[in-house]
Amino acid sequence: MSSSSLVERMCASGEWNAAWDEIAKMDPEWLESFLAMGMTPRLRGVLEPKVWELIAIAVDAATTHLYGPGVRRHIKKALELGASKDEIVAVLEGVAVLGIHSCALGFPILAEELETRARTKTQD
């Protein structure tokens, strides 16, 4: 792994993602830059740590990501920081609505296609 201070801090705090091991070996400078970009909002301290963990839960649990190890890590950390079960449930329920876009996109298309099909059959 890279000897960069950010990577070392992440390893020491238990935030290291083992999926980054190979990247750290092959291009530690790029990984350091990537991690610095992603960690900057948290490191600035603008958001309370608990709020940051709740956001991280939402990102990792989102249907576009579905990263179980991250969800587990961030739920554990959020609980340690005083998040309630209800706060975490609210985050998970909130992020679940991302899937509704499939219906919002698909149902109007289905309705159009059914209407077109019905018109075509009546013209025959």
Q: Mind listing the pLDDT tens digit of every residue in the chain (124 residues)?
A: 444 578 888 888 888 888 889 998 999 999 999 988 988 888 898 999 999 999 999 999 998 899 999 999 999 999 999 999 999 999 999 999 888 888 888 899 999 999 999 999 888 7
The SS3 of residue 44 is coil
In a domain, 36, yes or no: yes
In a domain, 81, yes or no: no
In a domain, 91, yes or no: no
The structure tokens listed for 37 are 């970009």
In a domain, 38, yes or no: yes
Owning domain of residue 1: 1-46
In a domain, 66, yes or no: no
- Provide the domain count of the chain: 1
The structure tokens listed for 18 are 């083992």
In a domain, 55, yes or no: no
In a domain, 18, yes or no: yes
Could you give the CA distance from residue 108 to residue 104 in angstroms, rounded to a whole number? 7
In a domain, 108, yes or no: no
Q: In what helix (H) or strand (E) does residue 51 lie, and over which residues does it extend?
A: helix 49-61
Give me the sign of the Cα torsion angle 21, 23, 24, 30: negative
